[in-house]
Amino acid sequence: MGYKEGADLILNFKYPFQHFNRFKNNFAISNPIVALSDAVAGMIAHDTDDDKLYHFTGQSPGHDEILQENFSSDAEPVFNALRLGVTASDVSDPPTTAELVALFGEPWHVGAGWHSFLWDGISASDKFYLIVSDGLNWRYIALTAAA
């Protein structure tokens, strides 16, 4: 089995650049998450529709986007319990545990240190919060707009 079929590259063996270009271009396809029904963990696919790269994994959902500095401005990745997105919802002032559970799940499910931003821009309060899980409870800090 050759490296194109999944074998490991051999240390100190020189491969011509054409081999690597063929390998890279082998998985250039429109919507690879759906189209590559035979993808295996470790594969990297290039989505020709939006020029994004995906790494296939053995865990659910089965793929991760490979964040690229120039093309990932629309990504909302999770980095070790940091959720970079902002959730907008009409919540109490301050938000209740029940409201936070409905939005983010139980604090023990997301784990201690998990944090995200919550914007109550739907109601007239226009509050912005930093929401943090200590592993047992939800905690929040109300953020104030700069003058």
Determine the pLDDT at residue 80: 59
At 4-46, the pLDDT tens digits run 555 656 666 666 656 655 655 567 888 888 888 777 888 888 8
Establish how many alpha carbons lie within 13 A of residue 96's alpha carbon, considering only the half-sphere containing its beta carbon: 6
Q: Where are the domains of the chain?
A: 3-66, 78-143
Question: Does the pLDDT value for residue 82 go beyond 60?
Answer: yes
Question: Does the pLDDT value for residue 76 go beyond 60?
Answer: no
Give the count of beta carbons closer than 10 Å to the beta carbon of residue 45. 22
| pTM of the complete model | 0.49
